[in-house]
Amino acid sequence: MRTKLHIVTGGCGFVGRNMVKYLLAKTVDYILIVDDLSIGQNPITWLEETPQTKTQFSFYEDRVIFIQEDIRNILRSYSSVHLNIEAFLKAKVQIVDVYHFAAVVGGRMKIEEEPLAVAIDLSIDAEFFNWVVKYKPKRVLYPSSSAAYPVSLQTELNHRALKEDDINFDVIKNPDLTYGWAKLTGEYLARLTAQKHKIHVACIRPFSGFGADQEASYPITAIARRFVNKESPIDVWGSGLQSRDFVYIDDVIECTLKALDFVSNGDAINIGSGKQTSFLEIINVFSKISGHQAEVRRLVDKPVGVMHRYSNVQKAKELLNWTSSISLEDGLRLVFEKHLKA
C-alpha cells in the first residue's frame, strides 16, 4: 500500500494554514506544504512541534513536510522532490488531494497599486496545471475568487448577488484588475485540465474570507486592532458604505472540502454568506462587541475597489447542501478576542 500525501501550495498563508490544520485533525495522511514565505508564516510559529530538518525540508508533527521555495521551482523539479520524500518516509507515496493556495494576493492596496506583481499568478497557475497534467493527482482544488466577476455588476447603481453563471467564458467581461484576470484564466485552465485530461478538478470563488489569524493588511483584522487599541477616531477606507460578503474561515474550509467532493469537471462554486455588509456596519458590530464607541474617520484617498460585492449562494445550497454557519457577529467576536489576547 502507498502512503497518502496531500499537497497544500501556499500552505503557510491564511487559507492554507487553516487547511493544513484541518487535514492534520481529520486525516492520518502526510501533508506537503510548499510556500516561499513571501507572505506566509513559518510553520514553526503555528504548528506545535520543533521540526526535524532534512536538507530540503522541515518535518513537523510526524506528518507535515514543509519546503520553503517558490512553488514554480518545486513543480519544475518535482520528480526529484518526490524521490526525496519517499526516501525520507521510507515508503512509496501517492499524491491524493492538491490544494493550490499559492498566489500573490495581498490586500486592496496591492491589487490596485501593484497589478504586475499580482500578474505573477498567471505564471504560477500555468506551471501548476501543467504539473497536474503530468503527475495526475487524484483531485485538485483551484481557488478562484469573487474578483473574477464582472466589475460592471458591482457598481453603486448596478449590483446584484453574483451568481456562478455571471461568468460566461463565451462572453468575458472585465473582472477586478490583474487579480481577477489571473483567476479567470486559472478557472479556464482548471476546466481544460478536467475536461481534456480527465482529472478531477473543482474551483471555488470565495468572497471576503476572514478569521482570527488573518494578516493585518485585510480590513477585518485592521479594524479589530483599532478597537482593541481603543483608537478614536476609527479609520475606515473610503466612505465605508462599500459592502462585501464576509464569510468566516471555518466555513470557507468546510465548503471547499464539499466542493472538492461534489465537483470534478472544473466548475466553480461561490463561497459566501449571501449577505451584504458595509464597512460602517462592521464598525458598528465591533463597537457593540468591544463596548468602545468612537468617531469614524473616512480616508477617501485610500483604494476601495468595487462598491458592492456579494454572493448568490443557491448553487452551494443545492449542489453541496451547504450554507455558512458562523454568523458575522460570532466571527467578528472571535477575531476581536484573538487580538485582545495578542
Ligand X SMILES: NC(=O)c1ccc[n+]([C@@H]2O[C@H](COP(=O)([O-])OP(=O)(O)OC[C@H]3O[C@@H](n4cnc5c(N)ncnc54)[C@H](O)[C@@H]3O)[C@@H](O)[C@H]2O)c1
Q: How far apart are CA 201 and CA 190, in angstroms?
A: 6
> Is residue 124 near ligand X by the rule CB under 6 A?
yes
Q: Does 322 sit near ligand X (CB under 6 A)?
A: no
How far is 245 from 161, CA to CA, in rounded Å? 10
Least distance between ligand X and beta carbon 186 (Å): 8
Specify whether the CB–CB gap between 336 and 289 falls below 8 A. yes
CB 92, min distance to ligand X, A: 26
Residue 12 within binding range of ligand X, rule CB under 6 A = yes
Going from the C-alpha of 213 to that of each of 65, 221, 328, the distances in angstroms are: 21, 8, 16
Nearest to 11 by CA among 25, 27, 22, 2: 22
Q: Which residues contact 205 (CB under 8 A, 6 or more apart)?
A: 144, 145, 146, 148, 149, 164, 183, 268, 269, 270, 271, 311
Phi, then psi, of 210 in degrees rounded to 5? -145, 165
Q: Using the minimum distance from each CB to ligand X, give the nearer residue, 21 or 292.
A: 21
User: Which residue number is nearest to ligand X in terms of Cβ?
Assistant: 13
All cell numbers assigned to 39: 507572505
Q: Which is nearer to ligand X, 137 or 211 (CB)?
A: 211
Shortest gap between Cβ of 214 and ligand X (angstroms)? 7
The whole-angstrom separation of Cα 164 and Cα 161 is 10
Nearer to ligand X, 18 or 290 (CB): 18
Give the strand pairing for 243-244 and 277-278: antiparallel
Candidates 68-76, 128-136, 258-266, 323-331; binding stretch for ligand X (CB under 6 A): 68-76
- Nearest distance from residue 184's CB to ligand X, in Å? 12
The residue from 70, 86, 166, 213 that contacts ligand X (CB under 6 A) is 70
Please report whether residue 105 would count as binding ligand X according to CB under 6 A.
Answer: yes
Q: Is residue 58 a contact residue for ligand X (CB under 6 A)?
A: no
Least distance between ligand X and beta carbon 185 (Å): 13
Q: Would you count residue 35 as binding ligand X (CB under 6 A)?
A: yes
Nearest distance, CB of residue 158 and ligand X, angstroms: 22
User: Of the candidates 107, 137, 143, 331, which one interacts with ligand X according to CB under 6 A?
Assistant: 143
Concatenated DSSP letters of 121-178: HHHHHHHHHHHHHHH--SEEEEE--GGGS-GGGBSSSSB--B-GGG--TTS----SHH
Q: Cβ contacts of residue 202 below 8 Å, gap of 6+?
A: 139, 140, 141, 142, 259, 260, 262, 263, 264, 266, 267, 269
Q: Please identify, using beta-carbon distances, which residue of 14 and 286 lies nearer to ligand X.
A: 14
Candidate residues 71, 111, 212, 255; the one interacting with ligand X per rule CB under 6 A: 71
Cell reading at 46: 503555528
Candidate list 37, 117, 216, 300; residue touching ligand X; CB under 6 A: 37
Task: Kindly state whether residue 104 participates in binding ligand X, applying the rule CB under 6 A.
Answer: yes
- Of 43 and 240, nearer to ligand X (C-beta) is 43
Residue with cell 497557475: 125
Considering the complex, state which of residue 128 and residue 336 has its C-beta at the smaller distance from ligand X. Answer: 128
* 15 binds ligand X per the rule CB under 6 A: yes
Residue 26 parent element (H or E)? helix 14-26
Which of positions 148-207 make contact with ligand X (CB under 6 A)?
Answer: 206
Residues 204-263 that bind ligand X (CB under 6 A): 206, 208-209
Instruction: Indicate whether 40 belongs to the interface with ligand X (CB under 6 A).
Output: yes
Cell numbers linked to 105:
494576493
Range in contact with ligand X (rule: CB under 6 A) among 14-22, 44-52, 235-243, 277-285: 14-22
Decide: helix, strand or coil at residue 21.
helix
Binding footprint of ligand X on the chain (CB under 6 A): 10, 12-16, 34-40, 70-72, 101-105, 124, 143, 145, 206, 208-209
